[in-house]
Amino acid sequence: MRNRLKRFHHLTASGRIGGRAHMNIRRKLKSASGFTLAETMLAVLIMLLVATIMANGIPVAQSAYEKVVLSANAQSLLSTTITTLRDELGTAWDVVLDDDKKGISFYSADTGARTRIHIASDGKIWRQEFVSMDGLNISLDKSVGKDSELISQATATNSLTISCGDSIDYDDTTGVVTFKNLVVKSKSNTLASLDTLRISVFSGKTKTA
């Protein structure tokens, strides 16, 4: 700014600029100043406002992302449970339904062992495997046998749990096993569900206990 003023004074002193042109140029040079205090404060205020919006938006975006991931994991857990039940029962034979319809036992074509899938009091699905010393058909004793959750907690991530309705149905005429109300929850929130799952079992000797 000072250099331009010096140049201006030099030109006017030499007579190369004068009169109205002199006044116009002088007015423009004086107006070529920086931002005013009000303009600077307004710019700072806008920057602070943008920073505040961004800061508040990050937690919201993170929360939305976590909900999407949790929902995807719930759908994956439901799909895994359905696949596991189909794998277990799809090749089953000599199917026996418990009197109280809380469990169903069968021979597994994969392991050759007598197996029982049952619903616990909390709705979780469990799997028992019975081993006969002589390899022959054994009389099932529900108090013995290796018992474990059908879907382990290692598979059920993010504290997700899956439960089933309070009974299992089996139609020995059609060979169809039915599970109802499969529900995946995180705490008390339902994230995925299936009203009815029907599985056709392998043909073979069937009976109802």
Specify the higher pLDDT residue, 145 or 16: 145
Are β-strands 146-149 and 176-186 bridged in parallel, bridged antiparallel, or unpaired? unpaired
Model confidence band, residue 43 (pLDDT cutoffs 50, 70, 90): confident
Model confidence band, residue 164 (pLDDT cutoffs 50, 70, 90): very high
Residue 206 has a pLDDT of 41
How far, in Å, CA of 84 to CA of 82, rounded?
5
* CB-based contact 103:120 (threshold 8 Å): no
Q: For the chain, how are helix, strand and coil distributed in percent, rounded to 5?
A: 40, 30, 35
CA 9 to chain centre: 74
Residue 118: closest CA among 109, 130, 110:
130
pLDDT averaged over every residue in the chain: 76
How far, in Å, CA of 88 to CA of 62, rounded?
39
The contacts of residue 6 (CB under 8 Å, 6+ apart) are none
Domain-wise residue ranges, the chain: 1-47, 67-208
* CB-based contact 208:96 (threshold 8 Å): yes
